[in-house]
Amino acid sequence: LASGIYSFACSLWNHHTDTFLQQIHAGDEAAATNSLERTLLSLKVLRKLTVHGFTEPHWSVEVMGFLHAVFERLKQFLECSRSIRAENVCRDRLEKTIILFTKVLLDFLDQHPFSFTPLIQRSLEFAVSYVFTEAGEGIVFERFIVQCMNLIKMIVKNYAYKPSKNIEDSSPETLEAHKIKTAFFTYPTLMEICRRLVTHYFQELTMWEEDPEGFTVEETGGDSWKYSLRPCTEVLFIDIFHEYNQTLTPVLLEMILSLQRSTNMEDTSAILIKDAVYNAVGLAAYELFDSVDFDQWFKNQLLAELQVSHNSYKLIRRRVIWLIGQWISVKFKSDLRPMLYEAIRNLLQDQDLVSHIHLQSVLFFLNDNLPVDDFEFRTDQFLPYLEPMFTLLFQLLQEVTQCDTKMHVLHVLSCVIERVNMQIRPYVGCLVQYLPLLWKQSEEHNMLRCAILTTLIHLVQGLGADSKNLYPFLLPVIQLSTDVSQPPHVYLLEDGLELWLVTLENSPSLTPELLIIFQNMSALLGLSSENLKNCFKIINAYIFLSSSEFLQMYAADLCTSFCELLKDITTEGQVQVLKVVENVLKVNPVLGPQMFQPLLPSIFRGIIDGERYPVVMSTYLGIMGRVVLQNASFFSLLLSQMACELGQELDQILGNMIEMWVDRIDNITQPERRKLSALALLSLLPSLN
């Protein structure tokens, strides 16, 4: 179908494109706008046909002709944009059309990498020319630069163009594409790209000066490199450096050497270049592992740069902290950390807000190097700096205004609390007093509330039994976060459940207020979501804290919820439910069987019928073993009930159960459960008396 209409679509597109170019040069803006709309529409159709209409598009002369024509049209439209001012009605549509041209190339490369091979050379020449030479000056705009960089990145990183280590295993198409890439990326080309990326696109002072706090929280993760210039340049640099590290490492080392002399504080250009080079060294940390003695560089130069207080140097102080954060997990002696903590403490004492915001990099550093999986972190090295850092971070939390920044500060505070655990107790008073106010202020910001919940989790763990003093604030927070009738639960539930659990785990006793919030549990069990595991842990915590009081209030509701759950739940879920019942029988062998009596007949039947899942059968036998051993009178009543239901003699049904129990005892792997089953079976043997 596509091949039948492709020629017509191409001629239509060419006609509207030529008409637009003629009209815009003639100054007829109204007619040109109309023609540009038709050009855009016909190009959208061609994009879909080209990308999705052919299985082997490289065999189609028309398709390849159109793709080559895209480059010519792009040049025409870019030149056209030079003469069209921003206020011109055509400007916005013109830029959209230019971007759509690049999307045609990107989509085609993504879907048909080998069909794209004849276009590799031309694509690289085009993109590099406009982005990394003077050819693009005055006509390129940010989104176009991003698209061109993405085109280069996709060619550089495309696995279809990478030969196997054993060349004989590579396809001719792969070898051909690799040959074209290699011929293009010569040493002079790579050196120029590297230098331009570092010295031109990494320079960030303008955005920094306009909105320092916004700069630090700009989104640079996920797929942001596809749309945003700052992350796009960094990702392109990383990919090119990784692919051609042997060529580019000397270039970057030369840049580092050129910066070892002192920097003129009044020379903005020199400061920007230093910032950009440090950024590059951080991004390429893993590639430079064997080429840079980072420990010496830190001691001899970087540490001193952290102590420069000149206002013009704030960008470098921020960058140095970020740079150390990139290298600390790659190559940084643990003995140097106290020197670093001292420098960070001094930075945190800077009262200027702008300087404070550059300390977002301090937050990134602490964030990356306090987590529990950082084996190089030593608590004893950090403790001397705990009080001032915690106090200063708390002050920063109060001063910053953006939600993202507050979230970041809270996350670092959480990491600090998690790292030092109980040793945080003397310093958290101010935070404990501030969090209720912050919670109230963040009513419209659920993600900030998630960060507060995470902080509370670590705070409760650090305070242990003393966390009961937080209950007037803590329990209403848990109540709201886990109430499925409240809209915020969509965001807060997961963290709210975890907070609920750690609160119970650190509670010395079960208070009436803790009992009241359990009213939320029935609805949570009804959700049957991925949070069920935490729900079961919470129920178990209540059982172990105060089984009698808790079960008297909630056993009936729990039993009803469990009966519903067991009708439609995974095997793993069944086991989790049954383990809760087993725990009830452990702590309350007299009342437990009566409270969960509606569940026991199905367990009895499961044993007699020979439940096929060993882990479920093992749990069935564990529950029945406890009933037999710890509440023989109730077991007799259950046996009579089952005999009536199944229409069998009591001895027969008991014999069937014992026979299956003995047959399946090997399903039980835990020694304590095997012992329990042995004792239960022995108790059923007739007594000589």
Token representation of residue 352: 């200027």
Of residues 235 and 87, more confidently modeled: 235
pLDDT of residue 638: 92
- Dihedral angle computed from the Cα positions of residues 81, 83, 86 and 90, in that order, rounded to the nearest 10 degrees: -60
Q: For 323, phi and psi rounded to 5 degrees? A: -60, -45
Report, as an integer, the average pLDDT of 306-331: 84
Residue that is written with structure tokens 């959480």 in the block: 414
Cα distance between residue 562 and residue 89, in whole Å: 65
The Cα angle at residue 490 between residues 373 and 459, in degrees rounded to 5: 40
Closest CA to 566 of 555, 577, 581, 580: 577
Measured between alpha carbons, how far apart are the two ends of the chain, in Å?
92
pLDDT tens per residue across span 618-638: 999 999 999 999 999 999 999
Q: Does residue 27 surpass a pLDDT of 90?
A: no
48-58 burial by CB neighbour count: b if 16+ within 10 A, else e? ebbbebbeebb
pLDDT tens per residue across span 216-245: 545 455 677 787 888 898 899 999 999 999
Closest CA to 230 of 191, 306, 283, 188: 283
Cα distance between residue 386 and residue 453, in whole Å: 22
Of residues 287 and 28, more confidently modeled: 287
The Cα angle at residue 416 between residues 414 and 417, in degrees rounded to 5: 65
pTM: 0.76
pLDDT tens per residue across span 40-75: 999 999 999 999 988 888 999 999 999 999 999 999
Report, as an integer, the average pLDDT of 657-669: 90
Per the CB < 8 A criterion, the answer to whether 535 and 525 are in contact is: yes
Cα distance between residue 447 and residue 459, in whole Å: 18
pLDDT of residue 570: 87
Cα distance between residue 167 and residue 45, in whole Å: 40
Token representation of residue 165: 């280590």
CA atoms within 13 A on the CB side of 198: 30
CA distances 673 to 68, 352, 639, 664, 679, Å, are 73, 64, 22, 13, 10
User: Considering the chain, what is the average pLDDT of its residues?
Assistant: 87
Q: How confident is the model at residue 476 (pLDDT cuts 50, 70, 90)?
A: very high
Cα distance between residue 402 and residue 353, in whole Å: 13
pLDDT tens per residue across span 580-619: 999 999 999 988 999 999 999 999 999 999 888 899 999 9
CA atoms within 13 A on the CB side of 65: 9
pLDDT tens per residue across span 505-542: 999 999 999 999 999 999 999 887 788 999 999 999 99
pLDDT of residue 420: 87
pLDDT of residue 209: 53
Per the CB < 8 A criterion, the answer to whether 1 and 48 are in contact is: no
Residue type for position 254: E
pLDDT of residue 456: 96
Token representation of residue 515: 């009992």
Report, as an integer, the average pLDDT of 555-570: 90
Please give the helix or strand (H or E) that residue 458 lies within, else none.
Answer: helix 446-463
Q: Does residue 572 surpass a pLDDT of 50?
A: yes
Per the CB < 8 A criterion, the answer to whether 449 and 491 are in contact is: yes
Cα distance between residue 58 and residue 659, in whole Å: 72
Report, as an integer, the average pLDDT of 472-482: 96
Cα distance between residue 250 and residue 670, in whole Å: 60
Closest CA to 622 of 590, 578, 570: 578
Per the CB < 8 A criterion, the answer to whether 560 and 572 are in contact is: no
Q: How confident is the model at residue 372 (pLDDT cuts 50, 70, 90)?
A: very low
DSSP 263: P
Q: Is 133 helix (H, G, I), strand (E, B) or coil?
A: coil
Cα distance between residue 542 and residue 531, in whole Å: 17
Q: pLDDT exceeding 90 applies to what percent of the chain?
A: 53
Report, as an integer, the average pLDDT of 308-321: 82
Cα distance between residue 524 and residue 541, in whole Å: 16
Q: Looking at the chain, how many residues does it have? A: 689
pLDDT of residue 353: 40
Per the CB < 8 A criterion, the answer to whether 252 and 281 are in contact is: yes
Of residues 373 and 362, more confidently modeled: 362
Cα distance between residue 491 and residue 496, in whole Å: 9
570: Cβ contacts below 8 Å, ≥ 6 apart: none
